[in-house]
Amino acid sequence: MIIHVVKPGETLWQISNFYGVPLAETISANQLPNPNQLLIGQAIIIPKDGITYVVQPGETLWMIAQRFNTTIDVILRNNDIANPDVIFPGMRILIPTPLYQVMPGDTLLGIANRFGVSLQSLIDANNIENPDLIFPGMVLVIPIKIRPLIDVNGFIYRLGQQAAPIITEVGQFLTYVAPFAYLIREDGTLEPIDDTAAINAAINVNAVPMMAITNFTSTHLGENLAHVVLNDLAIQNVLLNNIVNIMNQKGYKGLNVDFENVLPIDRVPYNEFMQRTVDKLHPLGYFVSSSLAPKVSADQPGLLYEAHDYAAHGRIADFVVLMTYEWGYRLGPPRAISPINLIRQVLDYAVTAIPRNKIFFGFQTYARDWVLPHVQGQQARTFSVQEAIRLGVRYGAIIQYDELAQSPFFRYRNENGVQHEVWFEDPRSAQAKFDTVKDYGLAGISYWALGYPFPQNWTLLGDNFTVRKI
């Protein structure tokens, strides 16, 4: 895929024509709220195959073109490079999928060896029925893109019948679906949720239903509730029996434990509860995961962090979800919700304490709108990426991009003269997150939350990864 940033005066037809892609394919890949209204600075996915190459020290465009059997002109036409003589280490360049014209004496095996690809991938990429029947002049696509295999989880809190179409729409990209969430009570019972439609929809798209339990709500931190449960074995036994009964009854295959704001004094009891949960559920054939706050060190202070023991959860749980979002908190000042520079600091620590093949990267799919000037505690509005674009179109906003956070944002003034600031996700920020998952060799991605339309994300996800189905 190519990511194009809209310039003043450009139309979607002009952009598609420039890249040689049918307009209908560009519209389909992006599902734009209004294809006839683009914003300056808006990122558009161009559905064209290729790879993203990171420039190495000392390289020139000519050297890169030779390496990938293409030309400088082709690279320039597919990248927004102002000066072809000025490229720099770390710069990302899209290389369109190379083509090769068969020469006399060529064999498929010889061509595969020449480009360092497998014979089978070459056969598959060109739909070749008989590998012995190739001929001079025949043009072959060289399949140089490798899509890592990952797991993908989607939390969903829009439950009841409204959950089914949400899960069905993106189900091909999901390994797990986790309806959120069963709230624990002080006596070990659980508040029921309407999760039947979500579970059935998950099963219908071959995604694994994962039960989620928690101790907090939007109005209660839950620290005292967790303290009561984590320090009473009798209550824990009741809780675990209730969990097993619900899982058996409803068809869940695993459990996610999302205890937040746990008191620092309950760090060890929380670890012991996780071990007790695994000891109970593993013999019954269930897996256990947990959700952890984004820490940058083992001893990071704060109610969110101190009781979340990365090393212990990494050892005990089958996998962990790192909640790498909410820096742009709804009650805090406007900022990137998931800044990649801060996420990388979390991952730098996480991979020292948790096996990489157990780490799920937390990916938020929503936008936020803050009123300016910000008043501490004033709540930002949360909505979808699609709605953010519609809002920008309505007020003629110019989208800016924070290169450090790898996140887009814009400002606008409404009809009453009140200024707003909106932070959201787009193809550039999504690709930055996918690149990070690859760079750190992580096991998967966990979305918070399904139900906020962001079609470009799923297009790019499928272009970057193969999603495991169990």
Q: Note whether 108 and 119 are within 8 A (CB).
A: yes
Neighbour count for residue 423 (Cβ, 10 Å): 26
Locate the DSSP E strands across 6-60. 43-46, 50-54
User: DSSP assignment, residue 298?
Assistant: T
Residues 6+ positions from 327 with CB-CB distance below 8 Å? 335, 336, 337, 338, 339, 342
The region that residue 418 occupies, defined by phi over 0 for left and psi between -120 and 50 for alpha, beta otherwise, is: beta
Q: How confident is the model at residue 305 (pLDDT cuts 50, 70, 90)?
A: very high
Residue 310 lies in a domain: yes
Q: Note whether 45 and 427 are within 8 A (CB).
A: yes
The answer to whether residue 267 scores a pLDDT higher than 60 is: yes
Strands of 400-402's sheet in order across = 381-384, 366-372, 419-423, 407-413, 400-402
The answer to whether residue 147 scores a pLDDT higher than 80 is: no
The reply to whether 463 and 316 lie within a common domain is yes
CA distance 418 to 54: 42
Q: What is the largest CA-CA distance in the chain?
A: 78
Establish whether 260 is a catalytic residue: yes
The reply to whether 373 and 255 lie within a common domain is yes
Tokens found for residue 159: 């439950």
Tokens found for residue 110: 């010889």
The reply to whether 291 and 163 lie within a common domain is yes
Residue 66 lies in a domain: no
Tokens found for residue 75: 């690279």
Residue 159 lies in a domain: yes
The reply to whether 305 and 426 lie within a common domain is yes
What 3-state DSSP class applies to 54? strand
Residues 6+ positions from 386 with CB-CB distance below 8 Å? 31, 33, 453, 454, 455
Query: Can you name the residues that pair with 420 across neighbouring β-strands?
Result: 371, 412
Tokens found for residue 232: 């009473």
Average model confidence (pLDDT) across the chain: 92
Which of 25, 223, 260, 326 does the annotation list as catalytic?
260
**pLDDT tens digits, one per residue of 414-436:** 999 999 999 999 999 999 999 99
Q: Cis peptide before 181, with omega less than 30 degrees from 0?
A: yes
User: DSSP assignment, residue 265?
Assistant: G
Q: How confident is the model at residue 453 (pLDDT cuts 50, 70, 90)?
A: very high
Tokens found for residue 200: 């059935």
Tokens found for residue 417: 């003269």
Residue 144 lies in a domain: no
Residue 403 lies in a domain: yes
Neighbour count for residue 148 (Cβ, 10 Å): 12
Residue 305 lies in a domain: yes
The reply to whether 227 and 370 lie within a common domain is yes
CA distance 393 to 397: 6
Residue 137 lies in a domain: no
Residue 78 lies in a domain: no
For residue 53, which of 42, 31, 38, 69 has the smallest C-alpha distance?
69
Burial class, 226, CB count within 10 angstroms (exposed 0-12 / middle 13-18 / buried 19+): buried
CATH of the domain at 15: 3.10.350.10
Q: 330-361 in b/e burial notation, b at 16+ Cβ within 10 A?
A: eebebbbbbbbebbbbbbebbbebbeeebbbb
**pLDDT tens digits, one per residue of 355-393:** 999 999 999 999 999 999 999 889 999 999 999 999 999
CA angle 440, 441, 442 (to 5 degrees): 95
Last residue of a domain, one of 9, 32, 48: 48
CATH of the domain at 202: 3.20.20.80
Distances (CA, A) of 174 to 120, 155, 194, 205, 251: 27, 10, 21, 8, 17
The reply to whether 279 and 390 lie within a common domain is yes
**pLDDT tens digits, one per residue of 29-72:** 999 888 999 999 999 998 876 666 778 888 888 888 776 667 78
As a whole-number percent, the residues of the chain with pLDDT over 70 amount to 96
Q: 77-92 in b/e burial notation, b at 16+ Cβ within 10 A?
A: ebbebeeeeebeeeee
Show the domain range for 205.
149-467
Which of 29-43, 76-90, 195-209, 294-308 has the lowest average pLDDT?
Answer: 76-90
Burial class, 131, CB count within 10 angstroms (exposed 0-12 / middle 13-18 / buried 19+): middle
Total tally of structural domains belonging to the chain? 2
CA distance 391 to 397: 8
CA distance 115 to 380: 51
**pLDDT tens digits, one per residue of 184-240:** 999 999 999 999 999 999 999 999 999 999 999 878 899 999 999 999 999 999 999
